[in-house]
A and B are shown apart, each in its own frame.
Chain A
Amino acid sequence: MRSPSVSILAWAKTSDDVEARHLATFGKGFRRIGNYVKLAQVGAQSCLAAADPLALKHANVGVFMGTGLGNTEAAVPLGEGILHAERPWCSPMAFAGSVGNAAAFYVARSCSLDGANVTVSQEELSFEAALLEAVLALQDGLVNLALVGGIDVLDPAREAEHLARLDAVGLEGRCAMGSGWLLLGEVARCPGRSTLIEEVWIGAADVDTLVAGAPSDATVLPGWRLAGLRGPNVAPAETRLMSTAAALRVVEVLDGTERVSTPAFSHVHRTAQGTAARVTIRRSG
């Protein structure tokens, strides 16, 4: 959908030194919280810290978190325990912490947010789908501000399973983990902001149609499943094999880590089954 009324107020990402960054962000350690939750908490807290405090004052802030595979570092050992051939066992705390929305719960708790809290898991389009939910929730009046994140975690020892779950066996790239976050608000509430979500679109489309729908002044940033995509305005494809890699890349363009010289950029991606997404972000001034 076209959404020129939504601004990006702040952004942040985190992908390495999770333990140290978590300690630096919160000043203390937390028991029973793994990398997945820590990545989410650090990224979200950093994003809020980068925002104008006035924008946050008295705002109903919703959390919209996308994850392709969820908290696998908790769920996989739990499943192994329950399905153990000789001595099945299950830790109650591990079970409670393995639910899909646990990370969003801890983000809300650590950031003192009690508004809408949504976790979306739509394969390789999980961040894009969370972004669309956030934009719609803003326009539907369900929240004043939306903290949108994409997060996935990786156990290097289980890379084969990870690639199979991504349906990415044999694809070029490297497995990765991390979290990227955006703080969104309606333009009317945040005047003077110069970075806008111009479009978030998800649906059935072939790649040519998907790319043709990007504005002519936008650089096209292909997701990792579109590694063969070429064209005059097409940048190299994402190389991180991670469901929510788009969250990291969008932040990297916004913070200048990845240089894009056009006023707009369109991230495009699709799932193995064929559902496609296009996210266009425009900077002015």
Chain B
Amino acid sequence: MTAPLAITGWGAVSALGLTTADAVRALREGRRGLGPTTRSAHLVDVNGGRPYAGEAPLDCPLDERARTMVTLAVEEAVRKAGPSDGVTGVFVGTTGGFFVDADIALYHERLTNPAASPWFGRRGVGEVAEAVALQVGATGPVATFSMACTSSAAAVAAAASHLRGGTCDRAVVVGFDLLANMTVYGFRSLLLCDPNPCRPFDVRRAGLQLGEGCGVLVIDRGAAGAFHLLGSANRIDVSNLTGSATDGSTVEAVIRGALAHSKVNPEQVVSVKAHGTGTVDNDLAEGRGIARAFTGGRPPFASLKGAIGHTLGAAGAIEAALWLGCLDAGFLPASTGFGEPDPDIGVIPATAVRVAPRGVHVFNSFGFGGSCVAFAVRDA
């Protein structure tokens, strides 16, 4: 019997505020953090107007935004977890890391030289993990997972393997992505952005809104904590670079894989934090997958992206931090933005805040590159 992996701290900077508590309060009240961006001056103006997105309400100089966001979220989570005498490892999930600074540097340069060309001589995405390791005084392993929108969920799963394998006693898991031109205009080019606030699992859904932020979980082996991290699963769906099979088979497989690795059965699951992007195919695949995985009584599920936007590589960690924050506050959040059921999906997300159930909670993440990750957490 291995020591439990206790989730002892969490923190998040998101469109709903600079702390988890801010976001939990907003989710209880059903507020959304989506709107026209006002702080992200580096986003180039294409097709008229700045993007509508889940921008974090962080007021600091533009070129300090990325590092400040990470620092704040890590501080919140580590403060909640308390000190640790053991070896700390850092596990980061991000799609762009601090590379967004190239966008921001170009923005500043073009204020005086409109014809300036971009310079990409920036470190790789692993820079974030090195910075967090310095911040928390980590002496253990550092690893950065660059797996599109599953990046920080994969970091959670990897942290569990490290803790079980003994490479560290504490894992600081970080998900981070800032609004960047590459992603804002990339998703726009794929026609995946809804011009209205997104509506995950709704029959009228028409795409996503991007968001930004940083989410952090602190996991301690053998410590006391409100939640225990169980097992995980990671599968690849090679049918399509940009989405999972819409019959739900891959989603079902990854959920069942996570439950099997956790040594629990579907009947023990009391909630599912859905990936729920608001795009037609993701929600079809995920909704059908949830229906297939839970045939004997379906647990409530919800997407948080209608409230904070799709924070890409950060989504797994931010949404886990917010979900755990809500559970810790005694409630399960509703699926923001949902209004009308989609008969093709066949399942309906949670439409209202409800009392937090106790049991096993499943966290889904899916992404480009065929990546599918799920992990399970149990109330201690």
Binds B, one of A128-136, A234-242, A250-258, A260-268: A128-136
Q: Is the CB of A96 within 8 A of B371?
A: no
B142 is an interface residue with CB less than 8 A from chain A: yes
What A residues does B124 contact at CB under 8 A?
68-70, 121, 123, 126, 165, 243
Q: Which of B118, B133, B234 contacts A275 (CB 8 A)?
A: B133
Q: Is the CB of B368 within 8 A of A118?
A: no
Q: Is the CB of B368 within 8 A of A99?
A: yes
B146 is an interface residue with CB less than 8 A from chain A: yes
What B residues does A56 contact at CB under 8 A?
none
Q: Which of A1, A69, A108, A158 contacts B238 (CB 8 A)?
A: A108
How long is the Cα–Cα vector from A75 to B139 in the complex, in angstroms?
32
B194 is an interface residue with CB less than 8 A from chain A: no
How long is the Cα–Cα vector from A126 to B127 in the complex, in angstroms?
12
Q: Is the CB of B115 within 8 A of A85?
A: yes
Q: Is the CB of A83 within 8 A of B106?
A: yes
Q: Is the CB of B236 within 8 A of A113?
A: yes
Assess A118 versus B370: contact at CB under 8 Å? Given A79-B102, A202-B142, A273-B130.
no
8 pairs of residues in contact across A and B, judged by CB atoms under 8 Å: A88-B185, A92-B186, A99-B148, A100-B148, A104-B236, A136-B158, A140-B164, A204-B139
How long is the Cα–Cα vector from A271 to B122 in the complex, in angstroms?
14
Q: Which of A91, A123, A132, A203 contacts B123 (CB 8 A)?
A: A123
Q: Which of A136, A165, A275 contacts B122 (CB 8 A)?
A: A165
Q: Which of A61-118 contact B (CB under 8 A)?
A: 62-63, 67-70, 72, 75-76, 78-80, 82-83, 85, 88, 90-92, 95-102, 104-105, 108-109, 112-118
Instruction: Given A100-B148, A140-B160, output 13 extra A-B contacts at Cβ < 8 Å.
Output: A75-B182, A85-B115, A90-B186, A95-B186, A96-B242, A99-B367, A101-B147, A105-B369, A105-B371, A122-B126, A139-B161, A139-B165, A142-B233
Q: Is the CB of A122 within 8 A of B142?
A: yes
The contact string, 1 if C-beta is below 8 Å from chain A, for chain B 208-238, is 0000000000000000000000001111111
Q: Which of B138, B162, B187, B369 contacts A102 (CB 8 A)?
A: B369
B121 is an interface residue with CB less than 8 A from chain A: yes
Assess A101 versus B371: contact at CB under 8 Å? Given A92-B186, A115-B235, A136-B158.
yes
Q: Is the CB of A102 within 8 A of B368?
A: yes
What B residues does A115 contact at CB under 8 A?
234-236
Assess A109 versus B190: contact at CB under 8 Å? Given A100-B148, A101-B371, A275-B133.
no
How long is the Cα–Cα vector from A62 to B158 in the complex, in angstroms?
13
The contact string, 1 if C-beta is below 8 Å from chain A, for chain B 147-188, is 110010010001011101111000000000000011001111
Q: Is the CB of B371 within 8 A of A123?
A: no
Q: Is the CB of B371 within 8 A of A117?
A: yes
Q: Is the CB of A204 within 8 A of B138?
A: yes
A103 to chain B, nearest CB (A): 9
